[in-house]
Amino acid sequence: MKWAMIATWRMAIDGITEGSQLLKEGKRAGEAVETAIKMVEDYPFYKSVGYGGLPNENCEVELDAAYMDGDTLSIGAIGGIRDFKNPISIAKKLSEERFNCFLVGTGAEDYARKNGFERVNMLTDRAKQYYEKRKRETIEKGLSPYAGHDTVGMIALDCNKKMVAGTSTSGLFMKRRGRVGDSPVSGSGFYVDSEVGGASATGLGEDLMKGCISYEIVRLMREGYHPQEAADKAVSDLNDKLTKRRGKSGDLSVVCLNNKGKFGVATNIEGFTFSVITEEQKPTVYLCENENGKTTYEPASEEWLEAYLKRIKSPITFD
Ligand code: SD4
C-alpha cells in the first residue's frame, strides 16, 4: 500500500478524490490534505465547514482548523477566526512557525491578513436562514440550540510514507462567541505520527476533549492495535467513562489510518458516514453502525447518495 486518504463524513468524498490525484502523482500528503479540505470549505452547501458554515449565537461564523505534519510533529491551528476563506491553509502556514503556532480570534485574523490570505464574508444567506429558523424554534419550542455539527477531519499517507492530519469546522451551531471545540486542539480533534498513524474526530468537542481521543487512538495503534480495534476501543471506553461519571456521553465519531494504509472508524451515534480512498480502493462513502461497542460499515447506495445531495440543497422551510 503506497498511499491512502480517509476523512469524516460524506462531504469529504470529492476532496479526497481530488487530493488522491496528487498522491498518485507522488505529491506530498500535506498538499493533498490542504487541497481536499479547501474543497470542503469552499462548497456552500456544507453547513458546518468554511463558506456556508453555520454561525454562533450572535450570527457570526467563527471557524476552527488545524494541520499536523506526522514527520516533524509540527502543528498549526486557529480558533474562532472570522471571514477568511480557507482556514486550513492558514493552519498549514502556522505549522511552519516555531512559536505562536496556535492563534485565536483577532490574533489569527491579523496573522492571516499579514500573510496575504483571502478575506471573504463567510456567512451565506442560507446559513442566516438556518440561524433565524433555529432561533425561532429555540424560543418557541425550547429546542436545544446545539444541534447540527459536522467537522471535516482527514488523514493522508503519501508515497514517501509521510502522514498528515487536517481539520476544519464552524463548530457547534449556535455556540457561544469565542467557543473553541476539539478540532484545532492537538490530541483531541486530530493527531498524527508518521511512525504509527493518525486519527481525527467529529462530534461534541466538549466530550471528545475529555478523552484526548485522537491521541488515544494513535497510542493504541503504537501498542499494536489494528486501526479498527483502536478506534472502537477509544470510542467505547470514552463513551462508557462519560456515561458512568456524567450520566451521558455526547456524539463521538472517529476515523484513523496507520502508516501501512490500514484504516479504522468508530462511532457512538446513528448516521455517521466517512469517505476513504486507497491505492486499492476507489473513492467510497460508507455508512456506519455501532452495536455493543463494535462499528460496522457498508458502502452508501446510489439512492442514499442522491437523497443526501437533495437534502443539503433543499429549501429551508419555516413551519
Ligand atoms: C466541535 N467537534 O466544534 C466539533 C464539531 C463537530 O461533528 O465535529 N461536529 O465540537
Average pLDDT across each block of 10 residues of the chain; the chain has 319 residues. List them in order: 93 97 96 98 93 94 98 98 97 98 98 96 94 88 73 97 98 95 98 98 97 98 98 98 97 97 96 96 96 94 94 83
CB-CB contact of 194 with 162 (8 Å): yes
**DSSP H/E element including 154:** strand 152-157
Q: How far apart are CA 299 and CA 281, in angstroms?
A: 12
Just list the catalytic residues: 151
Cβ neighbourhood burial of 148 (10 Å; 0-12, 13-18, 19+)? middle
CATH of domain 4-308: 3.60.20.30
> Does residue 207's CB lie within 6 angstroms of at least one atom of ligand 1?
no
179 is known to lie in a ligand binding site: yes
Nine-digit cell string for 10? 460524506
**DSSP H/E element including 267:** strand 263-267
> Does residue 149's CB lie within 6 angstroms of at least one atom of ligand 1?
yes
Determine the angle formed by the axes of helices 87-94 and 29-42, rounding to 10 degrees. 150
Residue 182 Cα to ligand 1 midpoint, Å, equals 7
Residue 160 Cα to ligand 1 midpoint, Å, equals 31
Closest Cα to atom 5 of ligand 1: 171
> Does residue 82's CB lie within 6 angstroms of at least one atom of ligand 1?
no
Question: CA angle 213-28-103, nearest 5°?
Answer: 50
The reported pLDDT for the residue numbered 317 is 80
Nearest-10 Cα torsion for 202, 171, 37, 289: 30
The reported pLDDT for the residue numbered 145 is 66
Nine-digit cell string for 146? 446545539
181 is known to lie in a ligand binding site: yes
94 is known to lie in a ligand binding site: no
CB-CB contact of 283 with 10 (8 Å): no
**Which residues on adjacent β-strands are paired with residue 140?**
none
The reported pLDDT for the residue numbered 140 is 82
Compute φ and ψ for 236, nearest 5 degrees.
-70, -35
Q: How far apart are CA 24 and CA 7, in angstroms?
A: 18
Closest Cα to atom 7 of ligand 1: 150
Neighbours of 167 (CB within 10 A): 34
CB-CB contact of 201 with 171 (8 Å): no
Q: How far apart are CA 286 and CA 272, in angstroms?
A: 9
The reported pLDDT for the residue numbered 197 is 98
Q: Which amino acid is at 63?
A: L
Q: How far apart are CA 250 and CA 172, in angstroms?
A: 12
Atom of ligand 1 minimally distant from the CA of 204: 10
Residue 172 Cα to ligand 1 midpoint, Å, equals 6
Atom of ligand 1 minimally distant from the CA of 151: 8
Residues in the chain: 319
Nearest-10 Cα torsion for 20, 23, 29, 30: -80
Q: Where are the domains of the chain?
A: 4-308
Nine-digit cell string for 59? 450570527
Atom of ligand 1 minimally distant from the CA of 208: 2
202 is known to lie in a ligand binding site: yes
Distances 188 to 99, 167, 208, 218, 307 between C-alpha atoms, Å: 21, 11, 6, 11, 32
> Does residue 57's CB lie within 6 angstroms of at least one atom of ligand 1?
no
Residue 2 Cα to ligand 1 midpoint, Å, equals 30
Atom of ligand 1 minimally distant from the CA of 153: 8
> Does residue 169's CB lie within 6 angstroms of at least one atom of ligand 1?
yes
205 is known to lie in a ligand binding site: yes
